[in-house]
Chain A
C-alpha cells in the first residue's frame, strides 16, 4: 500500500477539475465534479457503469465540451488555452487505435510531428521503454492487442507529458498484459514523476495500482479515498471472523467478557461470528471460548477490499 499525502501543495498539482459539468438536453451526465491530482500520483476514477467516467475523461482531454466548470492542466485552462493545456497530456482513450496500414514507426512519427521537440532518438527511447523496438517496422494491422496497447503507451509518452490520462487501459488485455500494464504505470509514475489518472472497472486492479481513488456515481463525486487509509485510521483494531461449534453460546460468552477493544460482535452466517478487537486481546478471547466449551475451528482476519468499500460507497450499485 502506498501512502499519499492528501494536502499537496498547489505547486504540485498538475491536473485540477473545478465544478466540471456536462449536460445534454435535460440530462446531466456529470455534475459539478472537482478533484485534483499531484505530481507522481496514480489516481483511479471509479464508478458503476454510466456513472460518467468516460465523459469526465473525455472532457479533461477536450474530446467532449464542458457545459460548466473548467479543467486546468499544468495551470492552463482546457477551455480557453487548449493547445497549451493539452501539451502536458499523454492519453490513451479506450483501446489505442492506429492507422492499420502503416507501420508502428510511421504511426509514431505522425504523433511526433504534431508535438514540439520530439526527435527520432526520443521515438527510439520510448519504443525501447515499452519493448517494441523489434516490431516497429511491422504494419500495425499485424500487431496483437497487447502490442497495440504498448504502442499506445509509446505515443502517450512521446512528448514527455506531465500527466497521463488513461480510459479503461486494460480493456481486452489478458491477465499477463494487465499485469505488465500496471508495472509500466507504476514505474513511469515513480521514475519520471508523471501523474496518472486512470479509469477502470477492474477494482482489484485499481487497488494494486492507485494511491488514491475518486469514486463517482450518477455524475456526482461520492468520495475521494487514499487506498489503505481505512486500515490506517483504526490500525489497532483487527476484524476477525471466527468459525465456532455454537455461535449462540459463543456470542453470549463473548458478551460477558470485559475487553474494552472488543466490539461489533455479530453473527455472520451459520457457526460464524464477526468481531473487531485489538491484536493484544485476541488470546483472551480464544481462552474464554475454549474455557466455555465452545469449539473453535478457524480464526481469520477479514480484510476489507476495495470492492467491499466500493459497494458501501455506491450503496451496492452493480459494478460492470
Chain B
C-alpha cells in the first residue's frame, strides 16, 4: 500500500507541477465570481442566503454545466502525455506492475476531480457569504447542497472515467479531449432526438445525470434512480476493464 501511495504522490506531482494546474481552478473561480455578481445585481426569487446560492451553483444546473468539461480537459493528458513525451518508457521499466501504475493514474484523475469540486464549493460558499452575509438557510438546504454535490461527483466521475479510457486507447491528448467533449455534448442531443426509442435508456447519456430524479422527477421508459445508478456503474466498470486490459497488453515501441 505504501507503494501505491508513492505512485499516487508521483502522479499528483506531475499534475501539480504544470502551470495549467491553477488555470482550472481559476476558471471555476471566475465562473463562481460571475454568478455571484449577477445574483448580486439581479436578485433571484427564493434565493436569500449563502446556502441557497451554494445549493444552486454547486448543482448540475450550476457548476455541472462547466466543471465536468474542465475536469475532462485537465485529466485527458494523464496517460497520453506519457506517450507523447516518451516518458512511458522510463515509467514502465520500474519494479511496479502496469496495473498499479495505471491504477495510480486513474486514482489521481478521481482525486483531482474531487479537489476541483471541493474547491468550487468552497468558492461558492465564499461568494455566497460576500453577497448575502452569514446566516440564513436551514438543515434542509444543507442536505440539498450535499445531494447536489453528490450528483455532480457521479456525473463528473462517469465522464472522467470515459475520458481516461479514451486516453489509454488513443494515446493522443487531442483526440481524447475531442472525443470526450463530443460525448458530453452529443450525448444530450442524441438522448433528445432518440427519446422515443426505448434502447436509449441502456446508453450512458440519459442516465448519467441523476439529479433529474430529484423532487420526484421522472424519466421516460420506466427509468428509475436505481436503474440509472446501475447503468452508470456498469459503464464505469466496462471502461475500467477495457483500459486496464489494453494498457497491460500494449507493446510500447
Contacts and interface: CB of A to CB of B under 8 A. Distances in A.
Given A94-B89, A97-B90, A114-B7, A63 B95 contact: no
A64 B85 contact: no
A61 B252 CA distance: 11
B26 interface: no
A5 interface: no
B89 A97 contact: yes
A99 B17 contact: yes
Given A96-B90, A97-B89, A110 B253 contact: no
A69 interface: no
A114 B86 contact: no
A82 interface: yes
Contacts of B45: none
B19 interface: yes
Interface stretch (B8-16, B181-189, B201-209): B8-16
Which secondary structure characterizes the binding site on chain B?
loop
B87 interface: yes
A98 interface: yes
Nearest to B85: A97
Interface residues of B, number: 24
Interface in B88-111: 89-90, 92-97
Contact of B97 (A82, A93, A111): A82
A240 B18 CA distance: 64
Interface stretch (A100-108, A270-278, A303-311): A100-108
Interface stretch (A83-91, A172-180, A209-217): A83-91
Given A63-B251, A64-B251, A110 B86 contact: no
Nearest to A65: B251
Contact of B87 (A98, A114, A116): A98
Residue of B10, B85, B89, B93 contacting most chain A CB atoms (<10 Å): B93
Interface of A: 54-55, 58, 61-65, 82-84, 86-87, 89, 91, 93-102, 106, 110-111, 113-116, 155, 159
Given A93-B89, A93-B93, A94-B89, 17 more contacts: A54-B253, A63-B93, A65-B251, A83-B95, A84-B95, A86-B93, A86-B95, A91-B90, A94-B86, A97-B85, A98-B90, A99-B87, A113-B6, A113-B7, A113-B9, A114-B94, A114-B95
